[in-house]
Structure 1
Amino acid sequence: MNPLKIKETCLYVHDLEEAKRFYNKVLGLSIISYVNGKHIFFRAGSSVLLCFNPEDSILKTTPQAHYGSGKLHFAFEVAEAEYLQVKDEIKSKGISIYC
């Protein structure tokens, strides 16, 4: 197997409205789908960021129930030439970057 990239990443969030505000309003990701109390999906380039309400997703029968908790991590990739500019933009929005 030689994967080209991760197509989608899934996070479990208790506050979908806050996820909507942060990923859409602050970071500028477009919304693909939003179902209040259930999920919100964002477009990130050619990838998708899935945010599920864990209290809802753990009860699902179709698709199969899924759930995650604990410290989760994912990262956005930007063009090397834009790295410092994007880093400054993120910091200017009050978002901490840990390296």
Structure 2
Amino acid sequence: MQPSAILESALYVTDLDAAEAFYSEVLGLERIAKAEGRHVFFRCGHGVLLLFNAEATKHPPAPGARLPVPPHGTAGEGHLCFSATAEEIDRWKAHLEAKGVAIEADFEWPPKPGQAKGGRSIYLRDPSGNSLEFAEPKIWGF
């Protein structure tokens, strides 16, 4: 057995309102769920991006809760990479800079065996300090 895809990815944030504004207004993701003070979820392609208030996810659900999701979470900044073509990366870089978002790095990865050229990545930070990347799938040989 092998999983066929990643359905959801989670990042932990320190300010849900700032995170919601960034991911909806800057990245243009569609919000699909929100629980005030706990989480906000966004659709991203065929997957879902979960943004959690890290402190709120440390506590187990109340006995008899409708959704008995166990405690989870992490401390510190995480990382998430969005898939993008070379042309989309150019457009994302211009869009992000126009929104006042600093690009931390912009570079070409070394080519994989059999590739003439490696893929490109750009890196930035969300309001909670999470590392976000836009990269060509060929950095992984896709």
TM-score normalized by the length of structure 2: 0.62
Supply the AA of the counterpart residue of 1:86: W
Alignment pair present for 1:88 and 2:99: no
Identity of aligned residues (%): 38
- Aligned with 2:14: secondary structure? coil
Counterpart position of 1:67: 73
Larger Rg: 1 or 2? 2
Amino acid at match of 2:10: C
Letter in 1 for 2:84: V
Q: In the aligned structure 2, how far is the partner of 1:86 from the partner of 1:67?
A: 29
Matched to 1:26, the amino acid is V
Aligned to 1:26: 26
Equivalent residue pairs, number: 99
Structure-1 separation of matches of 2:97 and 2:88: 14
Q: Which has the higher contact order (CA 8 A, sep 6+)?
A: 1
TM-score (norm 1): 0.86
> Cα RMSD between the aligned structures?
1.8
CA distance in 2, matches of 1:80, 1:40: 29
Write the distance in 2 (CA, Å) between the matches of 1:24 and 1:10: 16
* SS of structure 2 residue aligned to 1:74: strand
Task: Structure 2 unaligned segments of length 5 or more: list them.
Answer: 62-67, 106-142
Structure (1/2) with the larger helix percentage: 1
Which consecutive residues of structure 1, in runs of 5 or more, have no partner in the other structure?
none
Structure in which a larger fraction of residues adopt strand:
2
